[in-house]
Structure 1
Amino acid sequence: MAKQQRIVDVHERLPLGQSLPLSLQHLFAMFGATVLVPFLTGLNPSVALLTSGIGTLIYIILTKGKIPGYLGSSFAFIGPIIAVSKSQGVGAALFGCLLSGLVYVLVAVLVRYAGTRWIDRLLPPVVVGSIVIVIGLGLAGTAVDMASKDWGVASVALLIAIIASAFFRGFLGVIPILLGIIGGYVFALVQGLVDFAGVGSAAWFAAPAFTMPTVSWTAAIVIAPVALVTIAEHIGHLMVTENIVGRNLMKDPGLHRSMLGDGVATGIAALLGGPPSTTYGENIGVMAITRVYSVWVIGGAAVFAILFSFIGKFSALISSIPVPVMGGISLLLFGIIASAGLRMLVESGINYNHKRNLIISSVILVLGVGGAKIHIGDLQIEGMALATFAGILLNLVLPRGLNEEPVEVKSGSVLH
């Protein structure tokens, strides 16, 4: 009979020789997704690495060292950051990200004193699942545009990521994004599409290029509501982590502390010019595979991320990745985001024979994917922010009794 793998508990410290490679595994697991977000949004990859490391250490401290979670760049904010950056500049987008961190902090305070039932009332699965679909589909055009610059390179990166995700097991199965980027990069290099001029001229050690937020309440209206969606994701990740480590983390140290850590990390990231943070499923997967739950190992990965952010040539190497490589990876990633929303709807048992569910999802999807905009004075609300507001409002005002009225479907006709 095979010997059962030993569990390394949350507070346990391993010898340095064992801890360092385990920390590097976590660095590799989060790396591909974390640098993809700044690559797509025009933020600095080195700052994203720095803030992911700092944010993770803050998270560990604020959760009293009881939750082994790594914080990386959030994909949910990509679309709103791109939209605001094009119209008002990166600084305005960062202000919106700063306010999204404040939303997390406010929700953490409410959870501390009022519990979580109100979250379920405000953001039921029919709203959250539909918005997650909007996040993925809303980015589809960006992915296709990037990939279309060289479909050959994009296809290779996409194929490698698909193979790694579908067929690889163990740790390699957790890092399909990183493997796709590396494979696509090597193929582009063979094709002569990689420019190393920036790598050669970059200094070995260089401080990341920080960007400060600039006040924009329009950006705040567009970006801050996204935090309501990522809060639902945060709760899901914490529940999965609970199951893996075998501890009631919702109670000790508490959901409010976990949300507070994520919110403070997001706010500090925005102040330095980095993307909003979120707990990473990839790193949760690494813990499940290795059965090493030590916050010291997670903290070691955070320290590595901080150190890497000050290596100038490393940042230049990331910047040299051809756009079609990231485009190919994005085709898979953004589709997975949309599919995750569909899975949420299915697993929650949402019944679309009921009018209420059908109305809420329909309005969210059309407003979000269709790029609808409304103006309130000088403020413009559009895309996912508008879809989020509309979904929450409809969920609050539509009578629950509508779910008892089935939608009649006639062959060869539209729904009535």
Structure 2
Amino acid sequence: MNTQNDVGIREIPKLNKWIILSLQHLFAMFGATVLVPFLTGLSPAVALVSSGLGTLAYLFITRGQIPAYLGSSFAFIAPILAASAIGGPEGAMVGSFLAGIIYGIVALLIKTSGTKWLMNLLPPIVVGPVIMVIGLGLAGVAVNMAMNEPITEAYSLTHFSVALVTLSITIIAAAFFRGFFGLIPILFGIVGGYLFGVTQGIVDLTPVYEASWFAVPDFIVPFVTYTPQFSWAIAFIMVPIAVVTIAEHIGDQMVLSKVADKNFLEKPGLHRSILGDGVATMISALIGGPPNTTYGENIGVIAITRVFSVFVIGGAAVIAIMFGFIGKIAALISTIPVAVMGGVSILLFGIIASSGLRMLIDNKIDLGSKRNLIISSVILVVGVGGAFIQVSEDVQIAGMALATIVGIILNLILPGRDTNHESKEILNEESEKKSEQTVA
């Protein structure tokens, strides 16, 4: 319930307070947003610009009624790496754009047919294990980044020590810090690990000294820097992940609705918020950034500060865009040791996997049921084990994409599927269960 100290959704704070509140949101999303492009070989500066532009588009599409910030999506890390291996960064951008289109299609279907079909297609028994696959599938990436020297890829005790210090600082911040500081453990970990990396001699600040203050990010623009080409292989890698992130999006919207004491699923509508995510992802793909998604960290900031103003969110978006054009900031991000990002990733990817497990627990999924045990088991082994289907010489359905498809099919064909709940009842129940969650 709102109090007299709350800042309303359409309220504009005084300028000095406005800037401070917007900077809080920037800090909350910064670490995770730059980590994704760092891991996938994309430009962190472009990611900042795309997150800002995507957030502004989201606010516009939702008619300025949902105070949500959008940043880089972790679910697409492995798909981007796989798509880049096939078609380079440009191929990954085409795949991201296709994923954005899926958001738009789902939004249109929700507008015309409601949400029951979506909830039946993506119940927790499918989404939970797929989220676990996303985290566990990236575990090897995190450990290799933490343990190995990035150029020779040989084991390095120095780099591993930097990763462990980074991980320790992140864990301490997450476990013991309270209030706003408890929402930015990633930022604390990166900064602390970076400073320790300086003492270990693995940080080269030369690029920062040489960089200019103003610099245009390395945008990847279709028909300007490359000619986009459709690839079924990339489509099968990227598109199925959008189905999973849509389910995560619904969870975020329910949490935010509870925090703001409003039903954003009804007004402005789930179809608008999903469309906003999709358009933000397509904008990002058009300039070379990773797909965007609503950030739980920023929802946490809103819950603590009780500042619901979309103008504060918009201010953070504008500042993020400005930061993307500051050359020294981009250069500073590029000097972060791989070991630092590896240390942070050990915790982050584990949290993603645990979030999938928590979804099963929160929804009281009975794994004593043969049906549920079969679905979750097959999804986990297919996804983590690296199973794939070779459709043709150039087209392969693998990893998370195959796990998602298999999970959906098993859920639809195995007997015992519960179809007695209306979508609205499911959403309301989920809202109560997720009311205290603030992770992306």
* Whole-angstrom distance in 1 between the partners of 2:305 and 2:241: 32
* Whole-angstrom distance in 1 between the partners of 2:381 and 2:83: 20
Partner of 2:190: 181
What letter is aligned with 2:198?
L
Q: CA RMSD in A?
A: 1.3
For 1:317-396, list aligned pairs within 5 A: 317-377=332-392, 378-396=394-412
- Per-residue deviation at 1:83? 1.6
For 1:9-158, list aligned pairs within 5 A: 9-149=8-148, 150-158=159-167
- TM-score normalised by structure 1 residue count: 0.94
Match of residue 211, structure 1, among 216, 220, 232: 220
SS of the counterpart of 2:397?
Answer: strand
Deviations 1:44-69 (A, max 9, x none): 00000000000000000000000000
- Per-residue deviation at 1:87? 3.2
Alignment check: 8 A CA contact 1:9 1:245 kept? no
> Percent same amino acid among aligned pairs?
62
Structure 1 residues not aligned, in runs of 5+: 404-416
Partner of 1:160: 169
> Does 1:314 find its partner at 2:329?
yes
145-154 or 371-380: bigger deviation: 371-380
* Whole-angstrom distance in 2 between the partners of 1:352 and 1:252: 36
* Whole-angstrom distance in 1 between the partners of 2:93 and 2:416: 38
SS of the counterpart of 2:293?
Answer: strand
Deviations 1:231-260 (A, max 9, x none): 011001011111111111111110000011
* Whole-angstrom distance in 1 between the partners of 2:369 and 2:31: 40
What letter is aligned with 2:217?
P
- Per-residue deviation at 1:400? 1.4
Partner of 1:399: 415
* Whole-angstrom distance in 1 between the partners of 2:369 and 2:263: 35
Partner of 2:263: 248
> Does 1:190 find its partner at 2:199?
yes
Deviations 1:303-355 (A, max 9, x none): 00000000011101000000000000000000000000000011111111111
Partner of 1:406: none
* Whole-angstrom distance in 1 between the partners of 2:170 and 2:105: 38
Partner of 1:410: none
Alignment check: 8 A CA contact 1:157 1:183 kept? yes
Alignment check: 8 A CA contact 2:102 2:239 kept? yes
What letter is aligned with 1:384?
M
Deviations 1:343-379 (A, max 9, x none): 0011111111111111111111011000111111231
- Per-residue deviation at 1:88? 2.7
What letter is aligned with 1:284?
I
SS of the counterpart of 1:278?
Answer: strand
Partner of 2:285: 270
SS of the counterpart of 2:303?
Answer: helix
Alignment check: 8 A CA contact 1:94 1:212 kept? no
- Per-residue deviation at 1:263? 0.3
- Per-residue deviation at 1:217? 2.2
What letter is aligned with 1:129?
G
After superposition, the Cα gap between the structure-2 partners of 1:74 and 1:401, relative to the gap in structure 1 and judged at 3 Å, is closer
* Whole-angstrom distance in 2 between the partners of 1:401 and 1:354: 11
| Matched positions, count | 400
What letter is aligned with 1:400?
G
* Whole-angstrom distance in 2 between the partners of 1:84 and 1:156: 32
- Per-residue deviation at 1:5? 7.4
* Whole-angstrom distance in 2 between the partners of 1:174 and 1:352: 32
Partner of 1:408: none
* Whole-angstrom distance in 2 between the partners of 1:49 and 1:110: 31
* Whole-angstrom distance in 1 between the partners of 2:260 and 2:361: 27
SS of the counterpart of 2:216?
Answer: coil
What letter is aligned with 1:386?
L
Structure 2 residues not aligned, in runs of 5+: 149-158, 223-227, 420-440
* Whole-angstrom distance in 1 between the partners of 2:57 and 2:375: 37
* Whole-angstrom distance in 2 between the partners of 1:355 and 1:92: 40
Alignment check: 8 A CA contact 2:411 2:417 kept? no
- Per-residue deviation at 1:401? 6.8
What letter is aligned with 2:190?
I
- Per-residue deviation at 1:94? 1.2
- Per-residue deviation at 1:86? 2.2
- Per-residue deviation at 1:76? 0.2
Deviations 1:95-117 (A, max 9, x none): 11110000000000000010000
Task: State the 4+ residue runs in structure 1 displaced beyond 6 angstroms.
Answer: none
